[in-house]
């Protein structure tokens, strides 16, 4: 029996409200792993129960098979509209078909509702069908609706739930990012605004050894053994080169590409999904961004640089964030520079989701400077710094903040900061109350926390004077700040 979560039921209610308000084509944004297929199945079943025809379009035959199997699991009668398919039942009200099938048919008589999976792809034939059939209600499903032109197709967006909410509720795995040796794309040619795959492949091959060695080190450092991994490579030749290098290092990584037939790819993915599989990793360009929903994948390796395709970046991250009982978090090894390149957009999407169709979301991004790259990562292990914390969450290294100084006529002059670092209210509250808790546990005067807060944030604390937890990054930062203040006081006292 299909049981929907609260946010899934709310999404359906908002979609129905949108139709009532005249939005015939709507986009449902929901992160990878949030259960968009279950929402689609509920809508398919409800529409068919009223005697109406409804169809769902998927990008490839293998995805049609997976969706058909899911419908069968819930005991929902349907047909799969592909010639020669074992479930070819064109008379049934629910039809599952590929975009290629729609292209071949050109029409879909009597259709009441059309659901489009991976709607950010925006295939020409599907867009033409929507525009030519205004009487058909349309719902697009996507975890990354940022492709240019979507705003001309869909007039309303329903934001189901944010990635942050799914992570905090345990329905997605948090992601740990490590910045590794980056593919150098300086001066590379671009095609339609993206770096050419040919050049990305050639430059990616130059750091294949670093990609293999970094993964081997991290998987043993973090887990003590190899863990299932997916690699997003720069091209076919790069994937083959990676597979050879992994093999030489003693690991079995299988490369998949458009050159392989669907049966081979399906068998490889099936074997990889098996417990105790001899395949430790899959390597592909973009094949694994669609319909790949394997929860026990612990590692993702980004080795295909994008200059503007935020959608592809989001889809890749989503492949490793599905929760699994043996996975506390997913690990992301960034050799492409994509995470920092798209970090502002990812932070916004992570916390807020999508409320409007933004056709400007996939513009060429400004490249981070060397200084920005250095500040973003721990100099010891390469991990992404956690928010405003000065303590690396992976290796425990403490970042020492220093004032920038310049030398003028033999004197050291402190540079005035150009801007004040921003802290969230949540961070400041945890900083203040965590420090109170620390001082209280050691029998110290808790009023010290008030004065240190004023010294650091230049304002009075707006929070109640109560003890808080000390085992969070903000409180740990406060303790380090206290220790530095104590050291500075001791030096002044003995001077």
pLDDT at 407: 36
- Domain end, chosen from 133, 161, 189, is at 161
The string over 437-449, giving b where at least 16 C-beta atoms fall within 10 Å of a residue's C-beta and e elsewhere, is: bbbbeeeeeeebb
pLDDT at 77: 94
The pLDDT averaged over each successive group of 10 residues in the chain (495 residues) is 90 96 96 92 95 92 85 92 85 90 80 94 88 94 90 93 93 94 93 91 95 96 95 95 96 93 88 94 86 89 94 93 92 96 92 80 82 88 82 83 42 37 80 91 90 89 85 82 81 66
Write the pLDDT tens digit of every residue in 314-345. Answer: 999 999 999 999 998 999 999 999 999 999 99
Is residue 141, in this structure, part of any structural domain at all?
A: yes
CB proximity list for 369: less than 8 A, separation 6 or greater: none
Is residue 378, in this structure, part of any structural domain at all?
A: no
Judge if 198 and 74 occupy the same domain.
no
Judge if 233 and 364 occupy the same domain.
yes
pLDDT at 266: 85
CATH code of 210's domain? 3.40.50.300
Write the pLDDT tens digit of every residue in 247-293. Answer: 999 999 999 998 888 888 889 999 999 999 999 999 998 788 776 88
Is residue 389, in this structure, part of any structural domain at all?
A: no
Write the pLDDT tens digit of every residue in 396-426. Answer: 888 765 444 433 443 333 333 333 456 788 8
Ranges of H-type helices in 280-424: 310-318, 338-341, 343-352, 370-376
Judge if 195 and 150 occupy the same domain.
no
**Cα distance between residue 54 and residue 289, in whole Å:** 26
Q: How many domains does the chain have?
A: 3
Give pTM, 2 decimals: 0.77
CB proximity list for 107: less than 8 A, separation 6 or greater: none
Is residue 376, in this structure, part of any structural domain at all?
A: no
Judge if 187 and 284 occupy the same domain.
yes
Judge if 52 and 77 occupy the same domain.
yes
What six digits make up the tokens of 451? 């004065």
Q: Look at the chain and count its residues.
A: 495
Range of the domain at 65: 6-161
Write the pLDDT tens digit of every residue in 50-80. Answer: 999 999 999 877 788 888 888 998 999 999 9
pLDDT at 258: 87
């Amino acid at each position: 029996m299909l049981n929907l979560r609260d946010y899934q039921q709310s999404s359906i209610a908002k979609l129905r409200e949108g139709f009532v308000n005249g939005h015939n084509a709507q986009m449902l944004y929901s992160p990878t792993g949030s259960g968009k297929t279950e929402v689609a199945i509920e809508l398919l079943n409800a529409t068919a129960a009223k005697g109406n025809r409804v169809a769902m379009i998927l990008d490839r035959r293998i995805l049609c098979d997976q969706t058909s199997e899911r419908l069968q699991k819930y005991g929902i009668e349907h047909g799969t509209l592909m010639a020669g398919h074992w479930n070819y039942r064109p008379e049934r009200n629910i039809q599952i078909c590929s975009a290629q099938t729609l292209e071949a048919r050109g029409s879909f008589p009597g259709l009441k509702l059309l659901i489009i999976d991976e709607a950010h792809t925006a295939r020409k034939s599907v867009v033409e069908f929507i525009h030519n059939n205004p009487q058909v209600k349309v719902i697009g499903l996507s975890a990354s609706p940022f492709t240019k032109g979507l705003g001309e197709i869909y007039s309303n967006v329903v934001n189901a739930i944010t990635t942050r909410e799914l992570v905090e509720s345990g329905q997605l795995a948090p992601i740990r990012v490590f910045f590794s040796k980056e593919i150098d794309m300086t001066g590379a040619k671009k095609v339609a605004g993206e770096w050419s795959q040919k050049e990305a492949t050639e430059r990616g091959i130059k750091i294949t050894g670093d990609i293999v060695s970094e993964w081997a080190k991290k998987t043993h450092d973090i887990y003590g053994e190899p863990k299932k991994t997916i690699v997003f490579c720069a091209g076919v030749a790069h994937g083959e080169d990676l597979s050879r290098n992994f093999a030489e290092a003693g690991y079995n990584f299988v490369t998949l590409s458009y050159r392989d037939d669907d049966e081979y790819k399906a068998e490889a993915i099936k074997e990889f999904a098996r417990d105790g599989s001899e395949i430790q990793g899959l390597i592909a360009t973009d094949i694994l961004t669609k319909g790949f929903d394997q929860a026990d994948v612990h590692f993702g390796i980004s080795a295909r640089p994008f200059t503007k395709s935020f959608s592809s970046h989001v889809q890749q991250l989503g492949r490793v964030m599905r929760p699994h009982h043996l996975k506390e978090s997913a690990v992301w090894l960034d050799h492409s520079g994509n995470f920092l390149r798209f970090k502002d957009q990812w932070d916004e999407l992570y916390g807020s989701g999508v409320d409007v169709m933004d056709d400007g979301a996939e513009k060429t991004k400004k490249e981070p400077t060397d200084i920005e790259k250095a500040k973003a990562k721990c100099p010891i292990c390469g991990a992404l710094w956690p928010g405003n914390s000065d303590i690396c969450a992976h290796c425990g290294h403490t970042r020492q903040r220093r004032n920038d100084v310049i030398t003028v006529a033999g004197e050291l002059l402190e540079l005035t900061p150009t801007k004040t670092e921003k802290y969230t209210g949540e961070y400041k509250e945890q900083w203040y109350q965590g420090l109170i808790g620390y001082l209280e546990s050691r029998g110290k005067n808790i009023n010290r926390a008030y004065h240190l807060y004023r010294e650091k944030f230049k304002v009075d604390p707006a929070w109640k004077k109560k003890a808080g937890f000390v085992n969070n990054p903000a409180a740990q930062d406060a303790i380090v700040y206290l220790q530095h203040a104590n050291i500075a006081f001791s030096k002044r006292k003995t001077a």
